Structure 1
């Protein structure tokens, strides 16, 4: 289960990078993807023990991933 989550997180970053390339987004977007990747790594560390509360907390932190990517997109258009 952790492997699948990690692979899906990696696929998300790859697809977002591809979309960013197609949309010709700027450097701020790619920096936001690096930060999102760091957040994903943090989530992987959180779920390492497979504790229910830690897994749910990591799930809720996906809001921050979305926020970081949104800010990267917004800054690319400034």
Structure 2
């Protein structure tokens, strides 16, 4: 019997997740975790962790920089 099976036979497995609620990569990780534990007796416990607790000045949505960063880095990573 593997560890996951023995853990779920006695009590649900607990997974603690620390994430930044505004981080796009944390959102991707959330979706992957939900897929991984689907159908299992697992309790996911969410904990806040701010990667950047003090905000930087907001970028203007019409600036090229913001669109370029999302097209090059965020969108390709989100295609899983």
> What is the TM-score when the length of structure 2 is the normalising length?
0.33
Pick 1 or 2: higher relative contact order, CA cutoff 8 A, min separation 6: 1
Higher helix proportion: 1
Structure whose alpha-carbon radius of gyration is higher: 2
Task: Return the structure number with greater strand share.
Answer: 2
